[in-house]
Amino acid sequence: MKPIEPVFKEITGQLNAIKDNIQIIAVTKQVDVKRTKEAVHAGIRHLGENRPEGLASKLEAIEEDVSWHYIGNLQTRKVKDVINEIDYLHSLDRSSLAKEIQKRASRQVKCFVQINVSGEESKSGIDPANAIDFIESLKDFDKIQVVGLMTMAPNTTDEQIIREAFKGLKLLQLQVSEKHWAHAPCTECSMGMSNDYLIAAQEGATFVRIGTALVGSESEAKR
């Protein structure tokens, strides 16, 4: 696998040419602790995991001051193992999960509400038409702060379809932020991954989640 530092600098330069202050989350779910440490030593300060086990092993090994993002579907029964270890949750998508976070969290957690902009059945997330009502319903959950919205691009290589999905999320994020809800400032957009992070940045992403294009993949390295 390639050294991470020059790749990180290249991606940072690409994003800065579009917009300042886009946060790069290195998605380390497919690499080991050693490779994750390399990412941290390269200057990366946002790390993303999608399994409680992977999160736990890396939390134990990494002593540096980093922000931890849980980016995968979080089962209700696993909330207790995760919620007090992370800084951001990118997959709040149902009331049962919100209730369990409220029950288990020892502090307020920054959450992205996951929106299924594409409408694909294979993807998790709330229908955009129901998003504002769902977010409003969280006003009494003092352990949850809705900092933004998250989506995954449609499963297509058609750039225009991907772009329209990201535009849809940005528009919805602005609609929520204009409500000026104390529990939901909703200033952020988490969208864009290895194949489409530049499109996401052009359409208003403030966080991009980059895995293989940044840190690589153990499975690819073994081929």
- Residues 58-75 have pLDDT tens digits of 999 999 999 999 998 999
74 touches 81 (CB < 8 A):
no
Tokens (6 digits) for 62: 């990494």
Helix (H, G, I), strand (E, B) or coil at 129: helix
- Cα dihedral 113, 117, 123, 129 sign: positive
pLDDT at position 223 is 44
With tokens 């092993």, the residue in question is 57
pLDDT at position 220 is 58
Q: What is the mean pLDDT of the chain?
A: 95
Tell me how many domains the chain contains.
1
Q: Give the HSE-up count for residue 211: Cα atoms under 13 Å, Cβ half-sphere.
A: 18
Residue range of the domain that includes 95: 4-221
**CA nearest neighbour of 54 among 221, 218, 223:** 218
d(CA 150, CA 93): 10
Return the CATH number at 129. Answer: 3.20.20.10
pTM recorded for the entire structure:
0.95
Chain segment 190-213, per-residue pLDDT in tens: 999 999 999 999 999 999 999 999
pLDDT at position 118 is 84
Q: Give the HSE-up count for residue 141: Cα atoms under 13 Å, Cβ half-sphere.
A: 26
pLDDT at position 89 is 98
Question: Which residues are 190's β-sheet partners?
Answer: 150, 207
Tokens (6 digits) for 118: 């594409």
Which residues of the chain, if any, have pLDDT below 70? 219-223
User: Do strands 88-92 and 23-27 pair parallel, antiparallel, or not at all (unpaired)?
Assistant: unpaired
Q: Which helix (H) or strand (E) holds 99?
A: helix 95-104
pLDDT at position 168 is 97
d(CA 217, CA 4): 12
